[in-house]
Structure 1
Amino acid sequence: LSIDEETLTIIEKMAERNFEATKRIKEAIEALIKEAKKALGIADIIEHIEEEVDDIRMEALELVLSKCHEEIRSISLCILLKDIIDSIENSVDRCEDVADVIRSIAVLS
């Protein structure tokens, strides 16, 4: 079984945005200690990243489903690729959840 370059590229893009959201959480937590207003701005960035990943997810799923339909591929591979895409998107959703809590703490500060 092999995964085509286009599919790998879009999954990699999602993973990179996930990594960026995670790094921003660290920045936001550090900002809470020093400057709560800055933490709010970082939380907004994390929310934007989450929205971007939602869009990329839809594009990725369309790509995977079309390739699974066009080519005779292993159904197992198609399901696993969908699981990877959904798991990365869920991870970014959790980053947004953390950003929402950071936002609440910053407002209370």
Structure 2
Amino acid sequence: MGQWLSWIKSNEKELLKILDDLAKKAVETSEAVVVLFEDLSNVEQAKKIHELETEADVLTRDIFSELNKTFITPLDREDMQRIASKIDDVIDFMDGIAARVYSYKITTPPPYTMEMAHELVKATKEVEYMISKLQRIKNPKDMIEHCRNTSDIEHAVDDLYREAIRELFETNDAIKIIKLKDIYETMETASDRCVDVADVIEDIVLKYT
């Protein structure tokens, strides 16, 4: 019986470890997006981002398969699934940014993209911090504060997005508008998904503390 219980405990740790790795992968991808905008001629960078996205997909599948095998989970199964799929979404959209920049042959960073990319790094770091604390929520107030930080970052990205779109529509260049609007929207959605993760974490904090 003791052995069985210790197996459950180690399995709980394994689930949170994979979730942790996935959050780290989100930070790595957001930092890679910043590097991409620093030098858009570097084709290898878009490939690197896509590789990170593929690695994140594997981690997400691992979480779902572990959850299917595990009788007792450290947190609600649905909450863990939601966190994993939303972090995976963040990384998918960041891969989408790189894919669009490459497909549309963007050679200079469009206005506001660098600022938005830096905000995405901040947002993914907030997510990584919160995930790292899920194993033992010692300070619920601290967790809620980081959920709020993620929301503040998202508001900053929204402001940048609105400003970017406003200036873009002043250009009257239809092709440019279509391409850049798509990139801006993808960046904004990536930031929205970070808030989705924070919302699930806030629910968990309120439930378990």
Q: Is TM (by shorter chain) over 0.5?
A: yes
Pick the aligned partner of 1:82 from 162, 181, 187.
Answer: 181
Cross-structure match for 2:157: 53
1:1-109 → structure 2 map (5 Å cutoff): 8-34=110-136, 35-37=138-140, 38-66=142-170, 68-69=171-172, 73=173, 75-109=174-208
Structure 2 CA distance, aligned partners of 1:16 and 1:78?
23
Contact kept in structure 2, 1:36 and 1:106, CA below 8 Å: no
Unaligned runs of 5+ in 1: none
Which structure has the highest helix share of the two? 1
Q: Structure 1 residues 58, 78: CA separation in 2 closer, same or farther (over 3 Å shift)?
A: same
Q: State, as a whole percentage, how many aligned pairs show the same letter.
A: 29
Per-residue deviation, 1:2: 6.9
Q: Deviations over 1:23-53 (max 9, x none)?
A: 1101011122233412211111001111111
Unaligned runs of 5+ in 2: 1-104
Contact kept in structure 2, 1:36 and 1:107, CA below 8 Å: no
Per-residue deviation, 1:9: 4.2
Q: Structure 1 residues 60, 32: CA separation in 2 closer, same or farther (over 3 Å shift)?
A: same
Runs of 4+ in 1 over 6 A off after TM superposition: 1-5
Aligned residues: 102
Contact kept in structure 2, 1:29 and 1:39, CA below 8 Å: no
Higher gyration radius (CA): 2
